[in-house]
Structure 1
Amino acid sequence: MKLSRSLAVLATLATVGLVSAQVNLNLSTGQTYTWNGSTTGQPTWARPDAGTPPTANSGIGAATSYTVLNFTVASNGSYSFLADTNTPGPTWDAYTFLYSGSFDPNDPLTNAITGNDDLGSTTRSGFLATLTAGTNYFFVTTGYDDTESGDFTGSISRLGLPSTWSSSLDGSESTWSRPSSTTALSGNNNTYYDTQLFSVDVTGNYTFSSSQTYDGYIFIYTLPFTPSPSGSTTGSDPSSLANLVALNDDGGTPASGFNNSSTLTTTLTAGVQYLAVTSSFANLATGNYQNTIQGVGSVTLGPVPEPTSMLALGLGVAALIRRRRSSK
């Protein structure tokens, strides 16, 4: 099966209610394997809860249908996994898991590597994982509860190197009225925020992950970024909604030393300048954070703009003055 760097080959997966025939993936960095799947009419199991690894069975998805992709990879490295129910639709609430060695639906905690509920929305589920060449893996797509099932598009991508930076919200930053969705501002309309310019060199899926010592909220924007002043509502000043690409509150597993995390996955375009915004769920929350962006291509973190550029982008000089990031 031939794969190009920017265009995935589409396959149709027929599981007939069982584990699929093994797929051997020989992906170069930036390549994606994509297939069409469905959980409708498939066998059911008592799925675990999300976690890395999952440690408890769910009390909600006690008899939810599932399908399994059995695969190996030819190269060690980082890979992203996604089950997207937006295509072909209609949407449903998916849940995904990764197992190594073997998969037994009657023993769902054994060999489980990771599991995820929502990845930016209830209609998408997935995660990042480091894989070893030649190991037998199982990617399980299932539902949040016993009523959730349907068609989905699955994808596995070999990722480029991550770009990471860390800093803190310490009370010296600007505040804004953050969004709670792509169409509305939050009632928590006085939160601190930090920003980071970045770009990617390959169009495709990228994951923005943040670990925090507080309850965080993360966003990706295209420019210009014009945050709504603190105290704004959707009706009074919805500027924070302009050029918003993606956002998420929770998701993922915190890095060592952190107790909260936020994760989103979205499609980014090569050559476009983006802005990663790190904020909080609650008003005036402070604490440390560590952020990573990783995807099918290289991620370049941009320099801190000059004050005039910051003003032009609507970022506020205060956010510039207090930058103390360490990048790698």
Structure 2
Amino acid sequence: VRYTLVITTFNQKATGPYTLIVSGLMLVSLTRTTDMAVTQVTRTTTEGYETHPTIILNIFNTTASSILTSDNPTYMRPGGSNASYYYDTFSLMVPMGGNYDIGTDGALDTFGSLYYGDFIPDHPELNIITYNDDGSEGPPFRLEVVLEAHVRYTLVITTFNQKATGPYTLIVSGLMLVSLTRTTDMAVTQMTRTTTDRYSTAETTNAYMINTTVYSALSLANPRYARPDTSNSTYYYDTFNVKTNITGLYTIASNSAIDTYGFLYNGSFFPNSPTRNLVISDDESGGNAQFRLSVYLQSYAQYVLVVTTYYGNVFGPYMVMTSGLGHVHILRTTATITTQITSTATSVINTKTTTGYVFNTIASSIWTAKNPTYARPHGSNSSRNYHYDTFNVTARIAGQYTIASNSTIDTYGYFYNGSFIQNSPLWNLAAFDDDSAGNGQFRLNVYLESNVAYTLVATTFSDNTTGRYTVIVQGPTRVSIILTTIESVTNTTTPTSKYFYFVTASYTNMLTTNSPTFRRTKDSDLSYFQAIQVTVLTAGTYSFKSDSLLDAYGYLYENNFNPSNPRANLLAEDDDSGGNQQFLMDYPMQYGSGYILVFTTHNPRMTGTFSILTSDPSKVNLKYLHIIPVSSSPAISK
């Protein structure tokens, strides 16, 4: 479910920095969406100023998470007392010049410095543009800077106190998404075998290290098995496909409140033969009962990571972090339980298949000459002319989803955790595909966490190709898929978003035996219903569609709804136009008018959950409306 959080001040016209913290059972998707008003000012011939109309600019956030550890390099930061401050470096480049805010979020008291071009640890005063701290007791640093387009900057993140370590999230806010790549040189100790079958330590060398992080949770829906060295099938587990594009030494580690155990396999993992193809396993090398695998990975070879627990029948959330010479593509592939097992009177185990419902979400678009272009991964080495679209993808129910294309054009699909960075198309890449759906169409099989933002990039196999296509998403529920492509527009510097009709969940609730009732028709029995106040922020035609396992029926009213007379004030009604026994209604609505949407069922006295999907949730507010139930009042017949 999408919520909007508004942050303001107690006093009028108060300004200043702040940090927003959301605490709960899982990480949340949190995106700043403020529309900033920017007034252009130009000098007139009379030495006065003429003010032009206000322009609304969207603010984009680019984020990256990292951890300062004792393996990070150290230096003496500006204002520091000695060379004992751990630091990270990031290469930063923006596609559009302008004002940008750079800061961190987290408990770590950070210190940030921005450099023009290169950062030289032995001479931190060279090339420096600005730095900020806010004091040992203040919030993390914040830099407000003007950045030039296509200029390489280096951002250095360290701490106020010496030898401080811990996780943090870097946030860059501005007019466009930015290219942000971690470039820290981590200390790596090379190990060589001696003639005594012992290991000797060679000199420490610096290696270019890149981190990849994924989040998941073991639950009752996960499969169980008997992990190696155990005999009972009581260990919940997750599986991940692991692949990298650069051969080298990598570290794979967990971070969780539960006692984890990790196994890495070459090729395939067989739950009934858990030692087959096993490369390496670990229990506690990461400290705090967390596994840490140090392993040599071959480029483009397929590995399987199995995450389980030290004790049986334990579940909970966890994080997997990889670090090495290249980006690691790590994709969750766990097949959750879909069968119920019951014992018969003769003690024979029978399997009863649970019915699964697959929902489709369809989005159509077109590649044109106005679409942006880039050099896609695995494309022609010399071409940067692949037209592409970007989509924000969010699911409200976690599970396995399939994302496929349908077109006469040979398509190519890329799927990203979080943001897509045009100049670094391997950054955050989770999955990609060319022809798995047949006929030159991509098909991605991915596991989506609930309410986590992903990015789908739809492009073509050949460069300089345009035309129409459709994206189809199948899974346990309909997803929010929003086209976010920024088109190039002739004779203007302001990009415009392509118009796209989408459907996303705007309201979720349920009918229960405590819900109010009414009679849909004169001769019908009582049906449970829920009334929803509809407010539109802009006049226009809007669509309302139900999403439920119930056989839904919808009514739209103007100003008032009377359960005793359900035909009064009625504007529209529908039963099955949305397919799968769901209603779908379109109606032209006026700003400032009152509307009431009533969700009920085709058959009487049905209960269950439902969602209302709208064609433009940014312009429609849906709110629960309390209605006094009716016990026996007759209704006017259709």
**TM, length-normalised to structure 2:** 0.24
Instruction: Tell which structure's C-alpha radius of gyration is larger.
Output: 2
* Larger RCO (alpha carbons 8 Å, 6+ apart): 1
Q: Which protein is richer in strand relative to its size?
A: 2
**TM, length-normalised to structure 1:** 0.45
